[in-house]
Structure 1
């Protein structure tokens, strides 16, 4: 995790130091997430996001942004006793996440792509029998992945963001129970991966010099 944070810091720090103008703001949102490999499909786990960001523009069309926020991810499968299905699963994982994005501006839209590093904070996991622990396969202390998204500027201050994210490394070394999985997981059974869809509202303060 320290290496990943150092890499992001080295990548972004000179940009912000040399920037003549930067913007800062706060963000609040929700996430729908799932875990590839746990055997339960669908973005059924609802979590929330809260944090802040800073960005700087290279030109009228290109900018970069650094964020830091708390995010709740995981996986959820609800029982359906009316259908004879009593199986349940609920996984909550809490992270501090630091994404860096490179962005392209077009009218009121901002298209983005980038990388993120997350620091694991805590988890809870349960099924129809009650609380579960991770046994000999704990969740890793960090997550690292990529994302792409789109922003819509309501005005100079308010921005809507929609983002899709995917782990590039496993969050847990464990048997992959998914029947339909990516080719690399199918070949190597590499563990559990985090996937999430985020929607957030950002408030950007006035530009500073």
Structure 2
């Protein structure tokens, strides 16, 4: 079902580009730096792939709007060192304390459809903002022992809504660099009552960088 929705959206997007000459389209690719607000792990430590396609059109000489369809990897990652200073028989720290690794990885994959408006502030720079609708395609969590058992997994919400803001810099007539900040307004999953290591409900927090290559004529 997920693949069918993705294929239908791609076909609609392609038909729009082919049938409306004043629309311009292209492909995009880049990376996410992500974290999940609400857990105990800080920092944009989880890298993720970002690929897709876009269309846009001019609304005015300095204003444009468009939409994208893309696959976006998000999640969280931590590898912290914990000191085991309460080993039996080592209450007085007679044995040197060795740090141990604590691994945690959350991997989320979304099909997303951002809708945006952009304002050209100069010949090469534009400010963009909009909202992205995401559908969760797959999710997994890992620790030092591998993937979480099914009975230990807490279900994620399928829908993710993220307002975003950023800017674009024209590198060439058909190539631009896009930088964005995005934050979920709906939790990706709620906090279970009996879970001690979650602070609150969890939200995606994403910094993305991508290159956009436009087909056809320049802007």
- Partners of 1:128 and 1:108 lie apart in 2 by 47
Q: Describe the superposition over 1:154-207 as per-residue Cα deviations: whole angstroms up to 9, x where unpaired.
A: 1220000001110000001125834xxxxxxxxxx4x11001110000101114
Instruction: Tell me the SS of whatever aligns to 2:102.
Output: coil
Aligned to 2:209: 199
Contact 2:79/2:102 (CA < 8 Å) preserved in 1? yes
Contact 1:21/1:207 (CA < 8 Å) preserved in 2? no
Aligned to 1:185: none
- Partners of 1:20 and 1:130 lie apart in 2 by 51
- Partners of 2:57 and 2:151 lie apart in 1 by 41
Instruction: Tell me the SS of whatever aligns to 1:58.
Output: strand
- Partners of 1:69 and 1:192 lie apart in 2 by 22
Instruction: Tell me the SS of whatever aligns to 1:140.
Output: coil
Superposition pairs of residues 173-184 of structure 1, within 5 angstroms: 173-175=190-192, 177-178=198-199
Matching residue within 179, 188, 191 for 1:171: 188
- Partners of 1:63 and 1:134 lie apart in 2 by 48
Contact 1:149/1:162 (CA < 8 Å) preserved in 2? yes
- Partners of 1:31 and 1:140 lie apart in 2 by 20
Q: How many residues align?
A: 185
Q: Which runs of 5+ in 2 are unaligned?
A: 84-97
Contact 1:137/1:174 (CA < 8 Å) preserved in 2? no
- Partners of 1:54 and 1:197 lie apart in 2 by 22
Answering whether residue 120 of structure 2 is matched by residue 105 of structure 1, we say yes
Aligned to 2:35: 34
Contact 1:45/1:74 (CA < 8 Å) preserved in 2? yes
Aligned to 1:58: 59
TM-score, normalised relative to structure 2: 0.76
Answering whether residue 155 of structure 2 is matched by residue 138 of structure 1, we say yes
Change (3 A) 1:34 1:134: farther
- Partners of 2:56 and 2:100 lie apart in 1 by 48
TM-score, normalised relative to structure 1: 0.80
Instruction: Tell me the SS of whatever aligns to 1:86.
Output: strand
Q: Describe the superposition over 1:107-127 as per-residue Cα deviations: whole angstroms up to 9, x where unpaired.
A: 200101110100110011011
Contact 1:25/1:203 (CA < 8 Å) preserved in 2? yes
Contact 1:103/1:112 (CA < 8 Å) preserved in 2? yes
Change (3 A) 1:134 1:27: farther
Superposition pairs of residues 55-94 of structure 1, within 5 angstroms: 55-80=56-81, 84-94=99-109
Aligned to 2:135: 119
